[in-house]
Amino acid sequence: MNKKEEMNKKEKADIKKVEDNQKTAGIKKKAWLIPLGMLAIAIVLNLIGWCSNTFCDWYVENVFPVWAETYSRLTGLVSFSVGEWLLYAAALLTAVFLAWGVAEAVFYFIRKKKKGGARLSKGFIVYLKFMLWVVGIVSLEMTLTCFLQFHVSPINERYRIGAKTCDEYGVEELMILRDYVVEQVNALSSEMERDEAGYLIYDDDMKTRAKLEMHRLSREFPNLRGYYPNPKPFFFSDFFSQQYMMGYYFPFSMEANYNDKMYVINMPASMCHELSHLKGFLLEDEANFIGYLACVGSEDAFFRYSGYMSVLYYLDRDFFDAIGQDIDVYFSHPVICEQVAEDDKFLTEEAWEEVEEDALLDTEIVKEASDKIVETNLALNGVSDGKVSYSRVVGLLLQYYDGILY
């Protein structure tokens, strides 16, 4: 090989090296651009969602069902709650990432102080890239499966429920509705099967029944059509009991989860409530409303009892306040019977004892932290009254029964 050939070969090698470096630089650039693009899309979609109910309505009816029909089928293949374990993994990884970030920052400032100037280490750059990917993926996923659904048009507008707004109904209508529900629960309480201790028993397949009731209700509310995975119990129901949490919708896994430690009468309405989230009804008052209707329209007396019980507290409290807390007026109306009052509990005494016995943290601390997280999440998504929004189901019921009870 002559010198000319050697030079040509060397030039080709240099050119190839430059091209390889350019490709590597391009790949590194994309490693930043892709998550940034995800974050940008999420921000734009959220801005549109906050500004346009029409867009969110279209999204919930045409795009969101895709996730319910695909992703929820995938996570539905396993019996345990994927979302619950992802939640624990996220908590653990968050602690690890924070420690990693702090360590990298400390080392950077130490090097800078010693050398008078220091570049970011490869480890810190990797950390920043990884965190950017996490933020991008989480932001986009939560936007597509959760955030946009908070800004759809109210259910009473979409389905033309009621002839008046909630504020136009007075004490008279509230009185009739409250008395109706009290009469229903009083009558149903005597029909329930109980064990020797007087606790309620349900031996049928509750999960399948809950899905059947949701399918039945879809004839009235078309958004409820389609596939439903089985509701899944929490693995650590004791921990969720400390939060007074009956159920949870995990956007990351598209699952409806429920607390299997709670008293059994709460389960049917809670299952239907959580399943409604899978169909885009993210607002808690609307999910309460859907859960109520799914249960009270059932042929199963236990489900009907659960449905009426799920709104009894809200109605009774609002009625008592509406009459100025006048005891004489209150007792002139149907009284909640002793058996119903006994059944209206979150956990049995025995279940609470088990929870407290195995608790790693004080229940008051856990509940306070949980309330703050829930309140913050709702506020960030435009629900200004936070957990109080659950009780807005009373307004929806007043509208729904307009022309039926009054």
Q: Tens digits of per-residue pLDDT, 310-364?
A: 999 999 999 999 999 999 999 999 999 999 999 999 999 999 999 988 777 777 7
Q: Which residue has the higher pLDDT, 358 or 18?
A: 358
- Cα gap 266→270, rounded to integer Å: 6
Give the count of alpha carbons within 13 A of 362, CB side only.
3
Report whether pLDDT(6) > 70. no
User: What value does the mean pLDDT take over residues 386-390?
Assistant: 44
What phi and psi values does residue 194 have, to the nearest 5 degrees?
Answer: -135, 160
* 3-state DSSP assignment of residue 281: coil
pLDDT digits (tens, 9 = 90+) for 74-90: 999 999 999 999 989 88
User: Above pLDDT 70, what percent of the chain?
Assistant: 83
Mean pLDDT of the chain: 87
Which pLDDT belongs to residue 388? 42
Instruction: Please check whether residue 253 is in contact with residue 81, taking contact to mean a CB–CB distance below 8 angstroms.
Output: yes
Which pLDDT belongs to residue 207? 97
* 3-state DSSP assignment of residue 247: strand
Report whether pLDDT(401) > 90. yes
Q: How sure is the predictor about 378, in pLDDT bands with cuts at 50, 70 and 90?
A: low
Q: Which residue has the higher pLDDT, 129 or 269?
A: 269
Which pLDDT belongs to residue 18? 46
Task: Give the residue from 355, 79, 390 showing the smallest Cα distance to 240.
Answer: 355
Cα 82 versus chain centre, distance: 14
Q: Which residue has the higher pLDDT, 96 or 286?
A: 286
pLDDT digits (tens, 9 = 90+) for 356-377: 887 777 777 766 666 666 666 6
Task: Give the residue from 107, 136, 121, 164 showing the smallest Cα distance to 32.
Answer: 136
Which pLDDT belongs to residue 266? 98
Q: How sure is the predictor about 127, in pLDDT bands with cuts at 50, 70 and 90?
A: confident
* 3-state DSSP assignment of residue 82: helix
In which element (H, E) is residue 396 found? helix 393-400
Report whether pLDDT(217) > 70. yes
Q: Which two tokens stand for residue 194?
A: 């109980």
Among positive and negative, which fits the CA dihedral 168, 170, 173, 179?
positive
Instruction: Please check whether residue 231 is in contact with residue 274, taking contact to mean a CB–CB distance below 8 angstroms.
Output: yes
* 3-state DSSP assignment of residue 147: helix
Which pLDDT belongs to residue 386? 45
- Cα gap 84→78, rounded to integer Å: 13
Which pLDDT belongs to residue 93? 83
Which pLDDT belongs to residue 195? 94
Report whether pLDDT(104) > 90. no
Residues sharing a CB contact under 8 Å with residue 73, sequence separation 6 or more, in sequence order: 227, 229
- Cα gap 90→3, rounded to integer Å: 61
Which pLDDT belongs to residue 5? 54
Which pLDDT belongs to residue 369? 65
Which pLDDT belongs to residue 94? 83
Instruction: Please check whether residue 68 is in contact with residue 226, taking contact to mean a CB–CB distance below 8 angstroms.
Output: yes
Which pLDDT belongs to residue 3? 53
pLDDT digits (tens, 9 = 90+) for 21-43: 555 544 555 667 889 999 999 99
Q: How sure is the predictor about 91, in pLDDT bands with cuts at 50, 70 and 90?
A: confident
Residue linked to tokens 């346009």: 52
Residue linked to tokens 């407290």: 356
- Cα gap 262→244, rounded to integer Å: 9
pLDDT digits (tens, 9 = 90+) for 222-250: 999 999 999 999 999 998 999 899 999 99
| Angle at 266 (CA atoms; ends 216, 160), nearest 5 degrees | 40
